Structure 1
């Protein structure tokens, strides 16, 4: 029975990594579409979100079946519950990439980025893509050093998010109401994307160390025994 349980956990981990990889592709394409006004790229992101939703649902179904058949307790139960929550966060990250793509599509043939904010959104986009790629490695390896990188990148995203609001609310901003709304929404989507990645990272850290604060101190990470099966 333990072999069956471990196989189920391996399958769950594999599917979570696959979803994270699709999310990475989605946010990469969405940010490019938002920056360049590439409506074809935006349409690809919107269409491909269904695949992310489908895979997230398959993870949930597998996790629930495992709960029902194996009836795990203690740490094993926490692993399954964390997988369910991770799946939900990844699905939401896919939705946020889709929202950014929808903004790009709605403004076509113009670009959605208001004047004076291009460099800020380019930086936010690159950070979100970096966060997504790092999250793939964290889910694949459970190496807590990746969790620290996600946290640090999210801090930078938060700082950029604050500057967007400062700029659009300043008297010097020349955009109209539509530009203000677009900038505020896009900035919020970028910021929430990073937050969901941090939430997943905290779950991985907790499973590895028992520390729910999300600490990724190098000494803790070095002491952690690296294992597979989604943190078992």
Structure 2
């Protein structure tokens, strides 16, 4: 069921007010689908939107774009998808976006992946909960790099080398994300994860993705991100 006609793309999807993050979970009902579950996040007015409802439109955008693009540049893919008005400023959509962009670019570059692989990365990525960056100590965008490698190379808990490669790629991404500082920013973490994935594929697998995508005027999200970090290398200082 839809609770309202408008969905806000920053902060609370229901009213647009800032979110509150809690140390201990509370039981809340999703304003859209009505599911009751424990959560550590709701808005100042008490609205709660579950991960599934939050990501629903964004996942469809990711799927539609990745199954139709011919781009071989994962950064171009994520930037174009993030620019879509149906992708929120923050949210678990980005956990599926990173692996989908990597596998899509890999498929278009090498021909060694399929549309089914793209769908699999999206399905795995969207299972990573929102808020894991703060509550689990591992940003979902960074984990998405490991999802991509695991899908491409058919890794399982029983494949020692492939499993290890996925772990190392995630470690590289998370290290960079941790060093970048600041509070949550799904756009920044997505970009860092893609940059580290490109480096990893080149170093470990001798696969070179194009690096020709140029972002105009730095980051277009700085002015709408309440937590935009002043030290972020992508920050659009002119737009603040």
When normalised by structure 1's length, the TM-score is 0.31
> Which structure is higher in RCO with an 8 Å CA cutoff and minimum separation 6?
1
From the CA coordinates, give the structure whose radius of gyration is larger: 1
TM-score w.r.t. the length of structure 2 is: 0.31
Q: From the two aligned structures, give the one with the greater strand fraction.
A: 2
Question: Structure 1 or 2: larger helix share?
Answer: 1
